[in-house]
């Protein structure tokens, strides 16, 4: 291990600009009118390009520091809220983990932005799309650089918001707005646990900063305190908080049982599926676990594991197999990829649980490239087939859409983990290797190998349906514009060569993340068990490819024909096609319960609380009635009487005012006579 | 107070008679001009009283009663002028000088 370097530098000083630029761009685009299409796209792409340059600068800074032999971990912290002695701090961090993610997010994001110019060209809400996309990019970059769990959570929620907005981008479609709500609510369930974990962590350690010169919550001092505190469930506080945070990560990353939203999220535009629901946002959960890894790992013996990490592993492995099984029987081109994403996220989680940050993160990075590639390829196919998404209505596209087919095939082979030449092989192999050495159980290894077989199978099935066989759609398919194909080609390049930085012979990626030097050494392949494992996984992948090709490959079919698997195993196929009926299960359990509970609340509202309110209202009404009667009969009566008297006397007096001058004069004379009489009378007395 | 042929009471009686005649005229006549004449009579009854009291009371050399009476006559003349002016304008307006018709100022 190198000595940690904590001092600030120019790179960490300007780090906040990386998320700020796209967010500001999004704010400006929000003010644009609909016809200002070119300007908004330019602004969004320009700001993200600046972010990419800054990210590369930051990455270079970390790289130089690493090259000189110091593990760069620079933080900039500041106090946000101060209440008495307690204070909430925010801050950002530059370390290898953040640097790698920054470059990946900005780079893939930029390619997808460019691709969107072509894909969304005919959409009237083009400016709104780029506004949301920019906001998403900024929020995601905020998640990446956050050095405070609170800042991370805020950006995390912003990311969730933009995900909601973009899934529901075509809100005129009821299915899209329903999917948006589903995604929002499902991830919120995880986030509630995340919030609880965060509050608990703050209560225990008094800080939400990850690293703060020895006083951060991910550093030895505070972790020791967390380990010494029991949580009351047979876990330490560290383990319990770790599990709560993992629940949040599971929601975002589509892990069982909160995976249901991710396939539905494919209702959004395809660039959104590529950017948010394949490459970046869903990876945020994995990134979060990598970020709080010291907490997850706290208390582990050498070679051992913790409860939290064991849970992460099992959930991840289960998700990997479960989603891969469902993907086998789907017919929507994007849904297959969506389940594949869920499955691969399971791999990442399992990799984190068993092998540590480097293993999980490496798969995250490679997956981001090839899954973005696959989604954008799928978008190109959908575009070329006149918005058709059902693979049964495609076929034979390898001729008409060669420029899409080649990158797509590369992405597909990378996802399958085709031996040696594709990045997916190396990253998946890293996870399998970690599973092989896991001390708790061997079952995850078998599950993940089975998952790899399924992955190869369903991807071959999809490619056979889409690109081989005969054309079964309507109209003529056409190739997409080059603005959509260029990003595919660039991503295809990385889908192949990115694996080079994480092979056993040159584990550069791991060394970079963990802060030790990397040496090229072919002996890395000779580690015990590794050759056998690589051979096994190669065989498994090839088996999957061959079997699927044998079943589906290059056969002319008709749209009405049932799937080959459906003919062989109708029950199982229906079960898989129905996604194990998890949605229906939730429908009759959770949702039915909530509906029942809502009805109870409604009844309580109407009958009980409503009755009380109505009773009180009745009391007041009656009181008012009494008061009215009192007013009418007493107060008003008095007033009426008084007024009547006044009017009468006024009438009486007004009779004197006859206007006849002589009458006045007479009265005057009478008064004078009377006065005189009184005077005489009184002077006599 | 000797040397006067007529006692004070005689003057006062005449003045009271004059006042009563004036008052009766002012109260009974319908014609506004005759009412004004009645009022003049009452004023002059008061003037007669002023002169009489001046002459019969202890300090006749101070001329107070006479000055008072001259003022009163001047005011009466002004009043008569104003009164006649009003009567003329009323006559122009309503073509009558009958006071019973002039009742438009009633409440």
pLDDT of A1 reads 36
Q: Encoding tokens for residue B44?
A: 């002059």
pLDDT of A302 reads 57
Q: Where are the domains of chain B?
A: 7-101
B12 Cβ under 8 Å from any chain A Cβ: no
pTM (global) more than 0.80: no
Q: Is the pLDDT of residue A192 over 60?
A: yes
ipTM: 0.75
- Do residues A285 and A252 lie in contact, with contact meaning Cβ atoms separated by under 8 Å? yes
Interface touch B27/A669, C-beta < 8 Å: yes
Within 10 angstroms of residue A1's Cβ, the number of other Cβ atoms is 7
Contacts of B65 (CB under 8 A, 6+ apart): B50, B51, B53, B54, B55
**Between these two residues, A152 and A501, which has the higher pLDDT value?**
A152
Q: Encoding tokens for residue A464?
A: 């056979």
pLDDT of B1 reads 47
* A599: exposed, middle or buried (Cβ count in 10 Å: 0-12, 13-18, 19+): exposed
- Residues from A contacting B (CB-CB < 8 Å) are 653-654, 656-662, 665-666, 669
Interface touch A659/B99, C-beta < 8 Å: no
Interface touch A658/B106, C-beta < 8 Å: yes
Q: Is the pLDDT of residue A482 over 50?
A: yes
Q: Testing the interface with B: which of A659, A664, A667 to mutate, by most B Cβ within 10 A?
A: A659
CA–CA min distance B70, chain A (Å):
25
**Between these two residues, A629 and B5, which has the higher pLDDT value?**
A629
pLDDT band at A5, cuts 50/70/90? Answer: very low
pLDDT band at A517, cuts 50/70/90? Answer: confident
Interface touch B107/A665, C-beta < 8 Å: no
Q: Please choose, from the candidates A503, A559, A557, A511, the residue with its C-alpha nearest in 3D space to the C-alpha of residue A534.
A: A503
Above pLDDT 70, what percent of chain A?
98
pLDDT of A558 reads 75
pLDDT tens digits, A286-316: 999 999 988 888 876 656 678 888 899 999 9
Q: Can you tell me the mean pLDDT for B83-94?
A: 88
Task: Name the closest residue on chain B to residue A651, using Cα atoms.
Answer: B107
pLDDT tens digits, A88-115: 888 899 888 999 999 999 999 999 899 8
Q: Is the pLDDT of residue A119 over 90?
A: no
Interface touch A654/B107, C-beta < 8 Å: yes
pLDDT band at A487, cuts 50/70/90? Answer: confident
B95 Cβ under 8 Å from any chain A Cβ: no
Interface touch A662/B99, C-beta < 8 Å: yes
Interface touch A657/B100, C-beta < 8 Å: no
Q: Is the pLDDT of residue A3 over 60?
A: no
Q: Testing the interface with B: which of A662, A667, A670, A680 to mutate, by most B Cβ within 10 A?
A: A662
Three-state DSSP class for A147? coil
Within 10 angstroms of residue A417's Cβ, the number of other Cβ atoms is 27
Q: Can you tell me the mean pLDDT for A136-140?
A: 93
Quote the CA–CA distance of B51 and B69 in Å, as a whole number: 7
Answer yes or no: CATH 2.30.30.190 is held by domain B7-101. no
pLDDT of A4 reads 45
pLDDT band at A329, cuts 50/70/90? Answer: confident
Task: Name the closest residue on chain A to residue B100, using Cα atoms.
Answer: A660
Task: Name the closest residue on chain A to residue B105, using Cα atoms.
Answer: A659
pLDDT of A124 reads 86
pLDDT of A230 reads 77
Interface touch A665/B26, C-beta < 8 Å: yes
Q: Is the pLDDT of residue B3 over 70?
A: no
**Between these two residues, A302 and A546, which has the higher pLDDT value?**
A546
**Between these two residues, A454 and A300, which has the higher pLDDT value?**
A454
Mean pLDDT of chain A: 86
Interface touch A666/B27, C-beta < 8 Å: yes
Q: Is the pLDDT of residue B83 over 70?
A: yes
CA–CA min distance A649, chain B (Å):
13
């Amino acid at each position: 291990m190198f000595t940690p370097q904590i001092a600030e530098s120019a790179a960490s000083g300007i780090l906040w600009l990386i998320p700020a630029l796209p967010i500001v761009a999004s704010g400006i685009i929000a003010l644009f009118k609909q016809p200002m299409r070119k300007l908004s796209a330019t602004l969004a792409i320009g700001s993200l390009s600046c972010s990419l340059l800054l990210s590369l600068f930051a990455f270079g800074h970390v790289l130089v520091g690493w090259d000189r032999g110091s593990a760069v971990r620079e933080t900039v912290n500041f106090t946000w809220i101060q209440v008495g002695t307690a204070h909430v701090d925010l801050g950002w961090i530059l370390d290898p983990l953040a640097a790698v993610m920054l470059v990946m997010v900005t780079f893939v994001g930029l390619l997808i932005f460019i691709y969107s110019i072509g894909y969304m060209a005919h959409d009237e809400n083009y400016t709104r799309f780029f506004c949301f996309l920019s906001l998403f990019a900024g929020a995601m970059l905020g998640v990446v650089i956050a050095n405070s769990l609170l800042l991370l959570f805020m950006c995390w929620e912003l990311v969730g918001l933009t995900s909601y907005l973009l899934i529901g981008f075509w809100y005129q479609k009821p299915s899209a707005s329903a999917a948006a709500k589903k995604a929002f609510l499902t991830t919120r369930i995880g986030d509630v646990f995340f919030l609880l974990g965060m509050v608990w962590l703050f209560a225990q350690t008094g800080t939400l900063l990850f690293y703060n010169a020895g006083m951060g919550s991910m550093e030895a001092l505070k972790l020791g305190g967390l380990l010494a505190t029991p949580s009351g469930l047979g876990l330490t506080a560290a383990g319990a908080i770790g599990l709560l945070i993992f629940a949040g990560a599971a929601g975002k990353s589509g892990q069982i049982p909160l995976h249901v939203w991710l396939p539905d999220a494919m209702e959004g535009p395809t660039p959104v599926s590529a950017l948010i629901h394949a490459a970046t946002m869903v990876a945020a959960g994995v990134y979060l676990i990598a970020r709080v890894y010291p907490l997850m790992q706290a208390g582990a013996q050498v070679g051992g594991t913790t409860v939290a990490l064991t849970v992460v592993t099992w959930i991840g492995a289960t998700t990997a197999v479960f989603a891969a099984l469902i993907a086998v029987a789907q017919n929507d081109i994007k849904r297959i990829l969506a389940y594949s994403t869920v499955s691969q996220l399971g791999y990442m989680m399992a990799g984190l649980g068993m092998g540590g940050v480097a293993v999980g993160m490496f798969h995250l990075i490679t997956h981001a490239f090839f899954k973005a590639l696959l989604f954008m390829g799928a978008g190109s196919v959908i575009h070329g087939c006149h918005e058709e998404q059902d693979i049964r209505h495609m076929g034979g596209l390898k001729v008409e859409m060669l420029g899409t087919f080649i990158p797509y095939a590369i992405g597909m082979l990378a996802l399958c983990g085709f031996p040696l030449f594709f990045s997916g092989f190396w990253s998946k192999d890293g996870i399998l290797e970690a599973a092989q050495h896991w001390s708790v159980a061997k079952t995850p290894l078998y599950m993940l190998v089975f998952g790899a077989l399924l992955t190869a199978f369903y991807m071959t099935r999809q490619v056979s349906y889409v690109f081989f066989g005969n054309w079964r759609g309507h109209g003529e398919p056409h190739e997409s514009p080059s603005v959509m194909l260029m990003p595919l080609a660039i991503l295809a390049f990385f889908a192949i060569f990115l694996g080079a930085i994480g092979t056993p012979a040159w584990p550069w990626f791991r060394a970079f993340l963990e802060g030790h030097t990397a040496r090229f050494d072919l002996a890395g392949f000779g580690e015990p068990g590794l050759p056998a494992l690589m051979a096994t996984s190669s065989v498994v992948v090839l088996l999957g490819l061959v079997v699927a090709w044998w079943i589906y490959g290059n056969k002319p079919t008709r749209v009405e024909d049932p799937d080959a698997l459906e003919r062989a195993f109708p029950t199982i196929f229906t079960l898989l096609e129905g996604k194990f009926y998890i949605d229906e299960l939730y429908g009759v359990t959770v949702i039915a319960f909530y509906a029942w509970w809502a009805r109870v609340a409604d009844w309580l509202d109407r009958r009980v609380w409503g009755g009380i309110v109505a009773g009180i209202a009745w009391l007041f009404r009656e009181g008012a009635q009494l008061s009215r009667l009192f007013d009418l009969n007493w107060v008003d009566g008095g007033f009426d009487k008084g007024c009547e008297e006044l009017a009468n006397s006024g009438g009486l007096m007004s009779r004197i005012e006859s206007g006849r001058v002589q009458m006045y004069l007479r009265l005057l004379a009478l008064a004078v006579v009377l006065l005189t009489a009184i005077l005489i009378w009184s002077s006599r007395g | 107070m000797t040397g006067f042929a007529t006692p004070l009471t005689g003057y006062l009686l005449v003045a009271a008679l004059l006042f009563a005649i004036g008052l009766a005229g002012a109260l009974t006549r319908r014609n506004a001009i005759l009412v004004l004449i009645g009022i003049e009579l009452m004023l002059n009854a008061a003037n007669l009283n002023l002169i009489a009291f001046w002459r019969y009371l202890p300090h006749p050399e101070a001329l107070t009663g006479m000055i008072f009476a001259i003022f009163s006559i001047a005011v009466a003349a002004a009043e008569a002028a104003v009164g006649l002016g009003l009567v003329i304008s009323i006559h122009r307006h309503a073509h009558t000088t009958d006071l019973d018709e002039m009742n438009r100022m009633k409440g």
